[in-house]
Amino acid sequence: MPDGYNLRIWKYICKKVFLCKKACYVRKLTVASNAPCIELNDGNKMPVVALGTGRGTATESAPVDEVRHSVYWAIEAGYRHIDTAAIYFDEPQVGQGIADAIANNLVTREELFITTKLWNDKHRREQVVPALKESLKKLGLDYVDLYLIHFPISVKEDGSPDNVDYLETWQGMEDARELGLTRSIGVSNFNTTQIDRLIANSKVRPAVNQVEVNPTNTQERLVTHCQERGVAVMAYSPFGFLVSRKNPDAPPPRVDDPVLVEMANKYKKTTSQIVLRYLIDRGLAPIPKSTNKKRIAQNIDLFDFSLTPEEVQQINKFNKNVRVIHPKFWKDYPNYPFWE
């Protein structure tokens, strides 16, 4: 039997072993529900489902805690990829959610994949690294996994059009990557012409193009174009008009669409899960946004079924080339991407 002093040491060791076992157990559970990854053209691995955090209710002057909770719930539910942007004004809340999850042993930083984006008023080469450093400070991180040019257009600080070539911006992105501030670099909202011009004139090929893809805006040409060039596609606004968009004239499908309901019944899933799986089965990485704990969990419960190629085609037939995100106010700005 240990004497008094040794007994205290013995109890201390037992407590440490118990806590360590508990932490490993928690980690095992969450890692087990991890989403699979897409291998990017630079060798980095990007988890296929990302939690969307844009369109929360945060503003620059009024941040809210809902994003902090959603990030935590998402990591708890098995997400390893979080999507944010400087313009969402929620990087501090995203960072707090990540810090909470790490502090509670749900994950390590290395197990997470964090994407953020450069806003349009920071497109000069010398502005890119400082802009990313500012995002990192807000996120409380040393590096992000993916940094994207949010739009190919550039604006002045007052929002009026500027004329910075995105090739110049890309040089700043390459600088950021060389400094180790981001593991991968990519773009968002680039059309096929812009993707080709970027590839033809840069040292580092974009790893990702993040664009809108959903059943009413299937983007088959753009998606194939990117995938053929080794550029992975992240799908934003993945639900399209399935969910309430305050637009009664928006084209189908809605949540109760008979085609989707039939597939949902077949696979014992919801119609929103069918739409997310449709995107995954096209090789895309959807970014569902939710601040609701139950829906966050539902939106990653996608890996025990898959659609047949015929079912993917059936959903493609909803296409009307109608966008959820259509910033027409920029249509006369240089490099406006949505003409194609």
CA dist 33 and 86 (Å) reads 29
Residues 110-139: x where in contact with ligand NAP by CB under 6 A, - otherwise, as a string: ------------------------------
Q: Does 209 interact with ligand NAP (rule: CB under 6 A)? A: no
Assigned token pair, 104:
């509670």
Among candidate residues 5, 12, 25, 88, the one labeled active-site is 88
> Do residues 222 and 277 make contact, with C-beta atoms less than 8 angstroms apart?
no
CA dist 235 and 49 (Å) reads 10
* DSSP symbols for 128-163: HHHHHHHHHHHHT-S-EEEEEES-S--B-TTS-B--
Report the residue number, 106 or 213, with the smaller CB distance to ligand NAP: 213
Contact region with ligand NAP (CB under 6 A), list: 17-25, 48-56, 57-65, 92-100: 48-56
Residues 152-191: x where in contact with ligand NAP by CB under 6 A, - otherwise, as a string: ------------------------------------xx--
Tokens 């390590």 correspond to: 108
Let me know the angle formed at the C-alpha of 128 by 222 and 115, rounded to the nearest 5 degrees.
55
Residue 172, class by beta-carbon neighbours within 10 Å (0-12 exposed, 13-18 middle, 19+ buried)? buried
Assigned token pair, 92:
């501090």
Smallest separation, CB 12 to ligand NAP (Å)? 45
Q: Give residues 237-256 in contact with ligand NAP (rule: CB under 6 A).
A: 237-239, 243
Contact region with ligand NAP (CB under 6 A), list: 10-18, 47-55, 163-171, 328-336: 47-55
Binding-site residues for substrate, in ranges, read 150
Q: Is 88 a catalytic residue?
A: yes
Helices (H) and strands (E) in the chain, counts: 11, 10
> Do residues 285 and 48 make contact, with C-beta atoms less than 8 angstroms apart?
yes
Contact region with ligand NAP (CB under 6 A), list: 13-21, 52-60, 153-161, 305-313: 52-60
Q: Give residues 287-326 in contact with ligand NAP (rule: CB under 6 A).
A: 287-292, 295, 298-299, 324-325
Report the residue number, 6 or 316, with the smaller CB distance to ligand NAP: 316
Active site residues: 88
Q: Given the rule CB under 6 A, which residues bind ligand NAP?
A: 52-55, 83, 150, 188-189, 210, 236-239, 243, 272, 287-292, 295, 298-299, 324-325
